[in-house]
């Protein structure tokens, strides 16, 4: 018997019957009247849909797999000797310095993927199908963020495997988990920025180009890869307010020892502020996009 819907099948029934995109059962046409339980159910179904898509397209995980390997080997073996000497040691000393910073870098770099993926979904018509269904509009965005956070955690696990191979010494497991949790919290806030770009910009290439313009100054104008003491005064002033610097320094303190409290609270403050500002903007833009 054919699996295609019959001519009398309604559009919503046809969408729910599609094997490649499992969708939640309808709740109500008014997003504001959907219960919290309904939002959770819709988000869970959409997370499952996105994970199934990744399983069908495993190449989409290439960046999460290769980026931590390439960046770790590049910075450790190209810059490790010279910067390590400036830190009062050698390559081994630099490994202990840069790996916590790399965790911060992963949170920013991979966050960009949520915006490009969102833009691709709009251009392919998938979002039009979702918005025609009586599901919570915020559920679509929360599902995207949840899957991207899972990708980031996968990349972080790969990073730690490679870091141990190049000599990183994990002596404080609770500190490591706390650093990953802090990085995850910050990444979730940055993803709202890229979701907004994904809604507003016309193509995934535009989102990616804008992302690089944001990422490069923040990443290299920070303490992720090298201490900031030798930077010009005006650049040091920038790094003092750069959330990636406070995230990297907090992760460093948690994982290898050092001051933590100030950088931890500043990073959490940035995360809350960015989320409070950008999450309503992203949801509003998604609901009103024509």
* φ/ψ of residue 171, rounded to 5: -110, -15
**Mean pLDDT of the residues in the chain:** 83
Task: Choose the most confident range, by mean pLDDT, from 50-54, 126-130, 150-154, 208-212.
Answer: 150-154
Least confident of 22-31, 44-53, 76-85, 193-202: 22-31
Task: Decide if 133 contacts 12 (C-beta within 8 A).
Answer: yes
How much is the pTM? Answer: 0.82
* Residue range 182-221, pLDDT digits in tens: 999 999 999 999 999 988 888 888 888 888 888 888 888 8
Q: Is 182 exposed, middle or buried (0-12, 13-18, 19+ CB in 10 A)?
A: buried
Asked whether the predicted pLDDT for residue 152 surpasses 70, the reply is yes
CB of 135 closer than 8 Å to CB of 28 = no
Average confidence (pLDDT) over 16-23: 44
> What is the average pLDDT across 241-260?
93
Give the tens place of pLDDT for each residue, 159-186.
999 999 999 998 899 999 999 999 999 9
Distance CA 100, CA 248 (A): 6
Q: Where are the domains of the chain?
A: 35-288
* pLDDT band (50, 70, 90) for residue 247: very high
């Amino acid at each position: 018997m054919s699996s295609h819907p019959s001519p009398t099948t309604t559009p919503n029934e046809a969408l729910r019957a599609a094997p490649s995109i499992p969708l939640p059962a309808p709740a109500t046409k008014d997003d504001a009247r959907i219960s919290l339980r309904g939002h959770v159910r819709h988000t869970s179904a959409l997370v499952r849909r996105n994970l199934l898509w990744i399983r069908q397209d495993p190449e989409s995980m290439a960046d999460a797999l290769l980026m931590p390997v390439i960046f770790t080997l590049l910075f450790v073996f190209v810059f490790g000797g010279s910067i390590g000497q400036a830190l009062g040691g050698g390559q081994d000393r630099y490994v202990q310095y840069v790996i916590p910073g790399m965790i911060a870098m992963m949170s920013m770099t991979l966050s960009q993927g949520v915006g490009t993926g969102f833009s691709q979904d709009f251009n392919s018509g998938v979002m039009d199908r979702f918005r025609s269904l009586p599901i919570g509009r915020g559920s679509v965005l929360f599902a995207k963020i949840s899957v991207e956070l899972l990708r980031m955690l996968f990349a972080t696990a790969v990073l730690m495997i490679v870091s141990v191979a190049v000599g990183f010494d994990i002596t404080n497991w609770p500190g490591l988990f706390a650093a990953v949790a802090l990085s995850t919290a910050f990444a979730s806030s940055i993803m709202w920025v890229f979701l907004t770009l994904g809604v507003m910009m016309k193509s995934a290439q535009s989102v990616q180009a804008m992302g690089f313009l944001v990422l490069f100054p923040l990443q290299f104008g920070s303490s992720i890869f090298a201490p900031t003491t030798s930077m010009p005064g005006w650049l040091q002033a920038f790094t003092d307010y750069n959330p990636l610097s406070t995230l990297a320094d907090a992760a460093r303190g948690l994982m290898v020892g050092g001051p933590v409290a100030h950088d931890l609270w500043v990073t959490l403050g940035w995360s809350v502020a960015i989320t409070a500002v950008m999450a309503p903007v992203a949801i509003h833009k998604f609901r009103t996009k024509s």
